[in-house]
Amino acid sequence: MAQEDVFKKLVSHCKEYGFVFPSSEIYDGLGAVYDYGQNGVELKNNIKQYWWQSMVLLHENIVGIDSAIFMHPTIWKASGHVDAFNDPLIDNRDSKKRYRADVLIEDQIAKYDDKINKEVAKAAKKYGDAFNEEEFRSTNARVLEHQAKRDALHERYTKAMNAGPDLDELRQIILDEEIVCPISGTKNWTEVRQFNLMFSTEMGSTADGAMKVYLRPETAQGIFVNYLNVQKTGRMKIPFGIAQIGKAFRNEIVARQFIFRMREFEQMEMEFFVRPGTEMEWFRKWKENRMKWHVALGMGEDNYRFHDHEKLAHYANAATDIEFRFPFGFKELEGIHSRTDFDLGNHQNLSGRKLQYFDPETGESYVPYCVETSIGVDRMFLAVLSHSYREETLENGEKRTVLSLPAPLAPVKAAVLPLIKKDGLPEFAQKVMDELKYDFNCQYDEKDSIGKRYRRQDAIGTPFCITVDHDSLSDGCVTVRDRDTMQQQRVPVAGLRAMLDGKVNLNNLLRKL
C-alpha cells in the first residue's frame, strides 16, 4: 500500500478508536486544531511521562517547572519573536489561497528529487542485480539534468532565505520555476510578505485600553524568565537544567499532515545552562542523550537521523534536528539548539534585572549559555502511532489491524476477558481486574466473541489479553495472549502482576538510558 494511503488510514483509525478527533467537529472542525480522545490522552500522557522522568528523575541537576501561557509582552520582544518569528507568504489572486513562499519552493525542490528517484527506481528494476546506483546517478543524462536544476534552485533559494529573507527574490524564484497554485492552476501571484506567527489577544481593560498579550509560541521563554527564581530557590549549580511540558500556539499558514503541524500543540522543552565556552561539548552530549531516548523505544535506529542546520535560527550558534521517518518521509521530530546567552542576555537588558551566575569554581560572574532540547508531544505521538500501525493478513486469511506500540506507552496495558458471560467467569475476571488495576491501566470486556474482543484490543495497541476460562476456576491460571506474536501461555493469576510489570513498566525503558 502506498504510504499516502497508509497515512489516510491511520488518520481515520485515530478517530475510530478514540485517539484523535478533529476539534469542534460538530461545527465542521477548526483548521489544524485537534482533540485527544480516551485512548489518545493515555498514550500522550505516557509519552510525556517517559520524557519527564528521563529528564527530571534521571538527572539530579534537572528540575521541572510549569509556567503560565500568558507572559509579559516584552518577553517576546526580548526573545526576538515580535521581530523575527515570521513566515514569507504569497497569495494566488485567482484562488485567493495563501501559501508559504518557502514551502512552495521546497516542494519544487522535492519534485526534482522525485523525478531523480523515479529514474533510479526504473533503472534498478530494469537491470536487477547488475544495477550500480552510484554509477547511474553520475552518468545518466536525464538524472544529471534534473540534478543540475535541483542544485541550482537549492543554492538560489538558500541564498534568498539567508538574505533576510529576500522577499522579491523568493517571488522571482516562484515565477522563474513556473510554480502554479495547486487550486487555480495559475501563476497569478501577489508580492511576498512577512507574516508573524504569534497569536495575540487583549488582557484586562484600563482607561488607556487593554494590553496586547501573546499566546506563547514556545514554552522555552517561561523557563528563561524563571531562570533566576529556580537557580536561587533550588540552589542550582551550573551546569543545570530546567524542564517544562506545556501548550504552545502558532498561527501556522501551511497547517497540514494531521497533527504534524498544528496551531495549538504541546512541547517538551529542557533548557540546560552551562558555562560559556563549554556549550559545544554539552550540545554534543544532549544530541547523544536525546537520540538514545528515541532509540530505546525500539522503533528502529535507521528510522532516525540528525539534520544539522545550515541556516541557524536567530538565537543559535549550533542546531540540529532529530528527524524521523514519517509516512511522508524524514521530517523534524525534535530540535536541539545551542542558544548561547541570547535569551538570558536579552531578558537582562530589557528587564534591567541581573541574570548573572557567580561561578564559585572560576570566581567569575557571567550570563550562562544554554543548550536546549525541544520536542513536540503531538509530533512524537504521530511518530509512535505511524510506526506502530499495521494491517496484517493472518494464516487463516482473516485480517487484523494492530498497533504495535512500545508496551510502556500503550494506553491500555491489559484486557481482562471472561471467555463467556456466565458460570462464574465474569466474577473471576473481576477479581483479576482488582488484582491488576492499581498498577496497570486495564480494560474489562465481556461483549462479543473472544476473536472480536482480541481485534478491538489489537486496534488500540493493548500488549496483553488475559482470558479467563472454565479451567481458571479450578487451576487459578489464565491465558495470556501476546499482541504481536499472538502466542498464548498459561499464567497463574498470582504471577500476572510480575509478568506484566516486566513488560509494560516505564522503568524498563528508563533503565536503557
Q: Which of 105, 170, 220, 245 binds ligand GAP (CB under 6 A)?
A: 220
Q: Does 375 contact ligand GAP by CB under 6 A?
A: yes
Q: Smaller CB distance to ligand GAP: residue 86 or 441?
A: 86
User: Which three-class secondary structure state does DSSP give residue 417?
Assistant: strand
**Binding ligand GAP by CB under 6 A: which of 320, 340, 374, 462?**
374
Binding mask 166-205 for ligand GAP (x = CB under 6 A): ----------------------------------------
Using CB under 6 A as the binding rule, whether residue 250 contacts ligand GAP is answered as yes
Per CB under 6 A, 102 contacts ligand GAP = no
Of 87 and 269, nearer to ligand GAP (C-beta) is: 269
Residue 376 binds ligand GAP (CB under 6 A): yes
Contacting residue, 252, 359, 435, 446, with ligand GAP by CB under 6 A:
252
Question: 468: which DSSP letter?
Answer: E
Residue nearest to ligand GAP (CB): 376
Q: What is the DSSP letter of 215?
A: B
Is the bond preceding 165 in cis, omega lying within 30 degrees of 0?
yes
Count of residues interacting with ligand GAP (CB under 6 A): 19
Backbone CA torsion sign across 65, 70, 72, 75: positive
* Cα→Cα distances 146→141, 182, 209, 297, Å: 9, 22, 57, 39
- Binds ligand GAP by CB under 6 A, chosen from 92, 267, 320, 472: 267
Answer yes or no whether residue 161 interacts with ligand GAP by CB under 6 A: no
The grid cell for 300 is 528502529
Q: Which three cell numbers stand for residue 8?
A: 489516510
Smaller CB separation from ligand GAP, 90 or 333? 333
Residues 317-356 that bind ligand GAP (CB under 6 A): 332-335
What's the rounded Cα separation, in Å, for the pair 457 and 451?
A: 10
Residue 203, class by beta-carbon neighbours within 10 Å (0-12 exposed, 13-18 middle, 19+ buried)? exposed
Alpha helix segments (H runs only) across 163-258: 167-176, 220-224, 227-233
Please compute, for residue 412, the number of CA atoms within 13 A of its CA located in the half-sphere on the CB side.
Answer: 26
- Nearer to ligand GAP by Cβ, of 213 and 333: the residue is 333
Residues in CB range of 36: below 8 A, 6 or more apart: 19, 20, 21, 44
Angle 101-127/141-162 helices, nearest 10 degrees? 160
Query: Interacting stretch for ligand GAP, rule CB under 6 A, among 124-132, 154-162, 265-273, 429-437?
Result: 265-273
Q: Beta strands 200-203 and 193-196: pairing type?
A: unpaired
- Distance, CA of 129 to CA of 280 (rounded, Å): 44
**245 part of the interface to ligand GAP, by CB under 6 A:** no
371 forms part of the interface with ligand GAP (CB under 6 A): no
For the record, the C-alpha cell of 321 comes out as: 534536528
Q: How far is the CB of 334 from ligand GAP (least distance, A)?
A: 5
Specify the residue, 17 or 324, whose C-beta has the smaller distance to ligand GAP.
324
* Residues between 278 and 317 that touch ligand GAP (CB under 6 A): none
Using an 8 Å Cβ cutoff, are 359 and 275 in contact? yes
> What are the phi and psi torsion angles at 80 (to 5°)?
95, 0
Least distance in angstroms from the C-beta of 277 to ligand GAP: 23
The three cell numbers locating residue 79: 526573545
Using CA atoms, how far residue 507 sits from 46, 55, 180, 343, in Å, is: 12, 13, 52, 35
Stretch that binds ligand GAP, among 58-66, 70-78, 367-375, 453-461 (CB under 6 A): 367-375
| Residue selected from 81, 171, 261, 275 as contacting ligand GAP according to rule CB under 6 A | 261
Residue placing its CB nearer to ligand GAP in the complex, 218 or 445: 218
User: Is 98 in contact with 333 (CB distance < 8 Å)?
Assistant: no
- Near ligand GAP by CB under 6 A: residue from 378, 445, 458, 469: 378
> Does 54 engage in binding with ligand GAP (CB under 6 A)?
no
The reply to whether 262 sits near ligand GAP by the rule CB under 6 A is: yes
**Residue of the chain from 218, 279, 343, 445 that contacts ligand GAP (CB under 6 A):** 218
Give the residue with the Cβ less far from ligand GAP, 380 or 480.
380
Q: Count CB neighbours of 213 within 10 A.
A: 19
Nearer to ligand GAP, 55 or 143 (CB): 55
Q: How near is the Cβ of 106 to ligand GAP at its closest, in Å?
A: 16
In the chain the first and final C-alpha atoms are separated, in Å, by: 35
Contacting residues toward ligand GAP, per CB under 6 A: 218, 220, 250, 252, 261-262, 265, 267, 269, 332-335, 372, 374-376, 378-379
